[in-house]
Structure 1
Amino acid sequence: MNYFKLKIVIVTLVGGLTFSCSDNDDTTKTANCDLTALISADQYANAPSHTVTINTLEIDNHCLKINYSSSGCSGDSWEVKLIDSGEIMESNPPQRTIRLSLKNEELCEAYITKEIRFNIRNLQVEGNRVVLNITNADQQLLYEY
């Protein structure tokens, strides 16, 4: 390979790396999410529903950040899921119903607070916004995208 061709290959590689690390890359915006929201009528109805208190909810870059608490020993064995019922209510804006599922088999009296972030891109509907009704928090959030 001559020097000129090698220079083109290097420029192409560097250019590709520059574009993949761009601030405009949507995949990096959800890189800080811990888990992804599930859409399942069956899991919405049947997933564990141990006692959980939702303290705060915040949407940040397609991630729903949930600060929550429950009793337990350490919270290390907790299994947490964000589950959508699969139904979209026709309103303006459209609405979805979700819940935080907690499986907690720890038998201690400590009260533990944790935070988790769920990627909620898959909850988007036609248009640019949807209301998320969080049933076990008795709250609504407007998700705009």
Structure 2
Amino acid sequence: MVKRLLFCIAVLCCLMNTQCEDDVIIDTECDFTTIVSDSKYAVASHNGLSFIEAIINDDCLTLKIGASGCDGSTWQFELIDSGAVAESLPEQRYLKLDFDNEELCDAYFERTFSFDLTPVQVQGSNKIILHIEGLENALTYSY
């Protein structure tokens, strides 16, 4: 009985030792992931919101938006890329912030959130221009 117990403990120790400390764990600091979908891009709408600020920091696009509502807690949004890449130097991509606001209050609120831009990176390139519908100026994303 003792031999079986020792054998089980030895096997468990071996199994636990298979996890390597060098395992790469990608932990994005962004709130959401950018979606690449031409069908979602075609129907996306940002009606009712205003862009206040847009900043790229590392692989995160941080957006500050404003819109009317009761408190902004039910707002839903997705950053959607069209999937198309304009062949220029640097390459260019086209995105929309799909914004859904069911709040019927007249108060004005601002929210800040971020999106992971790694899904829009172009292989073989280290810089792209992002055109976000409704945003006055294009943004340069270097990676």
Shorter-chain TM-score range: 0.7 to 0.9
1:42 Cα offset (Å): 1.3
1:1-145 matches, cutoff 5 A: 16-17=20-21, 19=22, 27-28=26-27, 30=28, 32-126=29-123, 127-145=125-143
Q: Deviations over 1:68-91 (max 9, x none)?
A: 110000111111110111110011
Whole-Å Cα distance in 2 between the matches of residues 144 and 36 of structure 1? Answer: 17
Of the two, which has the highest radius of gyration? 2
Whole-Å Cα distance in 2 between the matches of residues 139 and 39 of structure 1? Answer: 21
Whole-Å Cα distance in 2 between the matches of residues 109 and 125 of structure 1? Answer: 41
1:41 Cα offset (Å): 1.3
Identical aligned pairs, as a percentage?
A: 34
Whole-Å Cα distance in 2 between the matches of residues 59 and 129 of structure 1? Answer: 12
Residue 78 of structure 2 aligns with an amino acid whose one-letter code is K
Of Structure 1 and Structure 2, the greater helix share is in: 1
| Unpaired runs of at least 5, structure 1 | 2-8
Q: TM-score, normalised by structure 2?
A: 0.81
| Unpaired runs of at least 5, structure 2 | 1-5, 7-13
- Aligned residue for 1:4? none
Whole-Å Cα distance in 2 between the matches of residues 116 and 43 of structure 1? Answer: 20
Whole-Å Cα distance in 1 between the matches of residues 99 and 76 of structure 2? Answer: 6
Please give the root-mean-square deviation of Cα atoms over the aligned residues, in Å: 2.4
Q: Deviations over 1:24-64 (max 9, x none)?
A: x6823x2x211101111111121343311111111112111
For the Cα contact (< 8 Å) 2:49–2:67, is it kept in 1? yes
Equivalent pairs counted in the alignment come to: 134
